[in-house]
């Protein structure tokens, strides 16, 4: 099985690799067991989960909010997390372990669903991402969160969406609301610089060809971009590590604070799986997030 020049496998291979989260989580035999293994201990965490809140009219326009238990001395950081799945699969229910880990770190976490290809193309799922982020900012006070400490986070294609939303503000502007202040972006194993598009479904998803450049977060790097934490496994054969390296270099060249974390022994799913209790020792993902968010200005150079 070979990857294309950008390290993006075929649709079937990419989905199979995501299913291989099982090998990360207790060497399970299938992805469903892997998510169960991750989410059973997460259900016992010290947080409150408000599930299936509507942020739009489509059946996919629902999100879960994870609120840390205990007293609140000051408004908490707010993190919106988008799941991966090559823009064509995945469900927020499978990522309860992510919401639990973020709540454990004293963040209010918002985990949305969004429409997938082929129901929509890029404009559709980016519109969903924009509305979910706007919902989170508008409702931050309802959950004792700080709308001025809004972090956009995702894994794989979700990381692409988080980065593109932060860098190309047209998606947020199109909602008709003021663009919220984004305190930072946390990208796990994300594709940010993946042209050329070689597969027909991706050509359709991000097309027509004159719009391909609009799908690349690296093309929208600007000096006033929010700080970013980019995490990638060097054994990732689904999304090549050069995606994070290239974006980090571009951000640094524009004077944007960026932290690049490359995990030597990890593959594509490992970076997010490390947020689960069964796999937390595999990588310091959660600690790296904590160092990025607390204190807000403590970012390492590339």
> What is the domain-level CATH number for residue 105?
3.40.50.1820
When comparing pLDDT for 279 and 84, which is higher? Answer: 84
- Asked if residue 4 is part of any domain, the answer here is no
pLDDT at 43: 67
**pLDDT tens digits, residue range 56-92?**
999 999 999 999 998 999 999 999 999 999 999 999 9
Averaged pLDDT, 243-248: 98
Given a contact cutoff of 8 angstroms between Cβ atoms, the answer to whether 102 and 130 are in contact is: no
pLDDT at 27: 35
Distance of CA 109 to the CA centre of its chain: 12
Examine the pLDDT at 25 and tell me if it is beyond 50: no
Number of domains into which the chain is organized: 1
Q: Which residue has the tokens 């919902």?
A: 135
Percent share of the chain, pLDDT over 70: 83
Cα–Cα distance measured from residue 226 to residue 187, given in angstroms and rounded to the nearest whole number? 12
Q: Which residue has the tokens 């992510």?
A: 98
Reference 247, options 217, 227, 292; nearest CA is: 217
pLDDT at 277: 87
pLDDT at 224: 98
Examine the pLDDT at 36 and tell me if it is beyond 80: no
Averaged pLDDT, 143-163: 98
Q: Residue 264: give the domain boundaries.
A: 11-293
Examine the pLDDT at 7 and tell me if it is beyond 80: no
- Asked if residue 5 is part of any domain, the answer here is no
- Asked if residue 289 is part of any domain, the answer here is yes
Cβ neighbours of 298 (radius 10 Å): 12
pLDDT band at 298 (very low <50, low <70, confident <90, very high): very low
- Asked if residue 2 is part of any domain, the answer here is no
- Asked if residue 3 is part of any domain, the answer here is no
Averaged pLDDT, 234-254: 98
Examine the pLDDT at 228 and tell me if it is beyond 90: yes
Averaged pLDDT, 280-296: 89
- Asked if residue 301 is part of any domain, the answer here is no
pLDDT band at 294 (very low <50, low <70, confident <90, very high): confident
Cβ neighbours of 255 (radius 10 Å): 11
pLDDT band at 37 (very low <50, low <70, confident <90, very high): low
Cβ neighbours of 296 (radius 10 Å): 14
**pLDDT tens digits, residue range 199-216?**
999 999 999 999 999 999
Across the strands, what pairs with 80?
110, 152
User: pTM value?
Assistant: 0.88
pLDDT at 279: 87
pLDDT at 264: 95
Of 57-66, 149-158, 225-234, 279-288, where does mean pLDDT reach its minimum?
279-288
Averaged pLDDT, 255-284: 94
Main-chain dihedrals φ then ψ at residue 54, nearest 5 degrees: -80, 135
pLDDT band at 38 (very low <50, low <70, confident <90, very high): confident
- DSSP for 99-162 reads HHHHHHTT-EEEEE----TTTS-HHHHHHHHHHHHHHHHHTGGGGTEEEEEEEEEEETHHHHHH
- Asked if residue 53 is part of any domain, the answer here is yes
- Asked if residue 74 is part of any domain, the answer here is yes
Distance of CA 134 to the CA centre of its chain: 16
Cis amide bond preceding 118, omega within 30:
yes
Examine the pLDDT at 30 and tell me if it is beyond 70: no
Cα–Cα distance measured from residue 236 to residue 229, given in angstroms and rounded to the nearest whole number? 17
pLDDT band at 31 (very low <50, low <70, confident <90, very high): low
Of 1-15, 85-99, 110-124, where does mean pLDDT reach its minimum?
1-15
Cβ neighbours of 280 (radius 10 Å): 17
């Amino acid at each position: 099985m070979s990857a294309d020049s950008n390290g993006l496998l075929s649709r079937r291979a990419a989905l199979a690799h995501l299913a291989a989260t099982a090998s990360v989580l207790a060497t399970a035999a299938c992805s469903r067991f892997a998510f169960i293994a991750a989410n059973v201990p997460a259900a016992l965490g010290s947080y409150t989960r408000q599930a299936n809140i509507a942020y739009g009219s489509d059946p996919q326009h629902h999100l879960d909010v994870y609120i840390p238990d205990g007293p609140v001395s000051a408004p908490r950081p707010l993190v919106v997390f988008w799941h991966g799945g090559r823009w064509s699969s995945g469900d927020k229910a499978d990522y309860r372990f992510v919401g639990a880990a973020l709540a454990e770190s004293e963040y209010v976490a918002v985990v949305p669903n969004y429409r997938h290809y082929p129901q929509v193309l890029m404009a559709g799922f980016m519109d969903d991402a924009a509305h979910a982020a706007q919902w989170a900012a508008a409702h931050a006070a309802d959950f004792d969160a700080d709308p001025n400490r809004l972090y956009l986070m995702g894994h794989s294609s979700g990381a692409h969406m988080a980065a593109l939303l932060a860098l190309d503000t047209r998606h947020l502007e199109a909602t008709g609301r003021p663009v919220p202040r984004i305190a930072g972006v946390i990208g796990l194993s994300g594709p940010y610089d993946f042209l050329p598009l070689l597969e027909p479904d991706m050509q359709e998803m991000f097309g027509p060809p004159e719009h391909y450049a609009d799908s690349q977060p690296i093309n929208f790097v600007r000096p006033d971009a929010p700080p970013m934490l980019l995490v990638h496994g060097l054994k990732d054969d689904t999304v090549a590590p050069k995606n994070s390296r290239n974006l980090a270099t571009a951000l640094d060249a524009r004077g944007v604070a960026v932290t690049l974390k490359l995990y030597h022994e990890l593959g594509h799913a490992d970076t997010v799986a490390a947020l689960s209790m069964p796999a937390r020792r595999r990588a310091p993902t959660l600690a790296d997030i904590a160092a990025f968010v607390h204190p807000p200005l403590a970012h390492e150079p590339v």
